[in-house]
């Protein structure tokens, strides 16, 4: 196995995976690289279902072994919301979406504001069963945004071990501890095993 499709149009995400998979001697492609315009609808109820839908869907379209991920924020006090709807929570984006989350949690005390970021990666291959790996990062939802880095919910996501929100960390540090980095390292082990089994 020498080629892997990363189911993204985001060049930054492609670079992240390239760094983690550097020693596997894989040629990575984005959806744009292979001319895929179709969007696989994320109709699953869980991160795992959505990741599997995308990985197997883009494998069918491309014929290439495919990696797809789905990720988001789960807040315990909100019953796991926003979950798979993280990107479109409240029908909002940007600062308005952060404010919407804060409004949902207005009367919730610090010790009950536990949350976690989750990333599930699905790996689909024509000669192997689809495999799923997961990374999680626990934290606490702040009472107000802090920091100017990162994106999405990062300014509200306080990481106890770092004494900072994700938006206050350097990009390098965030990429060492993040849910996506953890899942990608686990995916790397699956890819290495597939390579050994195919002798390439």
List of the chain residues with pLDDT < 70: 1, 199-200
Q: Which residues are catalytic?
A: 70
pTM: 0.91
| pLDDT digit string, tens, across residues 70-117 | 999 999 999 999 999 998 899 998 899 999 999 999 999 999 999 999
CATH number of the domain encompassing residue 44: 3.90.950.10
Alpha carbon 54 to its chain centroid, in Å, reads 13
Where in the sequence is the domain holding 53, given as residue range(s)? 3-198
- Residue 152 is labelled as binding a ligand: yes
Nearest to 21 by CA among 187, 137, 173, 171: 187
Q: How many domains does the chain have?
A: 1
Cα gap 169→32, rounded to integer Å: 31
- Residue 13 is labelled as binding a ligand: yes
């Amino acid at each position: 196995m020498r080629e892997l499709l990363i189911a993204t149009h985001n060049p930054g995400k492609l670079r992240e995976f390239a760094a983690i998979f550097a020693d596997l001697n894989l040629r990575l492609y984005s959806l744009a690289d292979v001319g895929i315009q179709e969007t696989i609808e994320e109709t699953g109820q869980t991160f795992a279902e959505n990741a599997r839908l995308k990985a197997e869907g883009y494998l069918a379209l491309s014929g290439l072994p495919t990696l797809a991920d789905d990720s988001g924020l789960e807040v315990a006090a909100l019953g796991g919301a926003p979950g798979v709807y993280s990107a479109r929570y409240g029908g909002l984006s940007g600062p308005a979406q952060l404010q919407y989350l804060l409004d949902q949690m207005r009367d919730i005390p610090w010790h009950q504001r536990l949350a976690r970021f989750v990333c599930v990666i699905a790996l689909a291959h024509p000669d192997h069963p689809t495999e799923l790996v997961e990374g999680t990062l626990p934290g606490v939802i702040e009472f107000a945004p802090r920091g100017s880095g990162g994106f999405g919910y990062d300014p509200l996501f306080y990481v106890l071990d770092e004494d900072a929100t994700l938006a206050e960390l350097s990009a390098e540090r965030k990429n060492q501890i993040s849910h996506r980095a953890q899942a990608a390292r686990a995916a790397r082990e699956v890819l290495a095993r597939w390579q050994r089994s195919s002798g390439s």
